[in-house]
Amino acid sequence: MKMIVGLGNPGEKYKLCRHNVGFMLVDALAKSLGLEWESNSKLKSEICKKDDLVLIKPQEFMNNSGVPVSLVANFYKIDTKDITVIHDDVDLPFAEIKKQIGSGAAGHHGVESIITSLGTKDFWRVRVGIGRPTSFQPVDEFVLSDFTGEELERVRGMEIIGK
């Protein structure tokens, strides 16, 4: 079984923010597969499943994403090498995608939480570039700011499968 995790923060307030690009892309994947999200409070996630694929959106805040990821992985007995985590990355130019396995968190607190909860960094990461602030805006404020309309259109058109 394989699991794809989209990282983000739950709630309407964060729906269109840069930090939620993982949620946005896993939502698009679920839609393309004709899947509907179901809330699972026991696993602290929104989940959809098809055959040997589980998609999840952890329903804890970003810095605690590891708990739901670990709960779902344990419940479905998913090997860490079969987990892919999609998340924002300020160190990549906007809309650039990089896929890698076994790398460190590089300061991303959601990824740090997953590494801690799983006890390993041997899972796939799909890093999605959100760019960097162009002014003196602190990075933590930038990642929680909404995409512009033009940026949002580009994000919605991104392909993550096959990357």
Measured CA distances, 73 to 10, 77, 79, 123 (Å): 20, 6, 7, 11
Q: How confident is the model at residue 31 (pLDDT cuts 50, 70, 90)?
A: very high
Q: Looking at the annotation, which residues are catalytic?
A: 19
* pLDDT given at position 160: 67
Average the pLDDT over 123-136 and give the result. Answer: 92
* pLDDT given at position 75: 98
Residue 115 has pLDDT above 60, yes or no: yes
Q: What is the mean pLDDT of the chain?
A: 94
Q: What is the pLDDT of residues 35-64, one digit of tens each?
A: 999 999 999 999 999 999 999 999 999 999
Q: How confident is the model at residue 156 (pLDDT cuts 50, 70, 90)?
A: confident
Q: At what angle do helices 149-156 and 21-32 cross, to 10 degrees?
A: 40
* pLDDT given at position 47: 98
Go through the domains of the chain in sequence order and give each one's CATH number: 2-156 (3.40.50.1470)
Return all residues near 128 (Cβ < 8 A) that are at least 6 apart: 21, 22, 25, 86, 87, 88, 89, 92, 95, 96, 97, 155, 158, 160
Which H or E element spans position 48?
A: strand 45-50
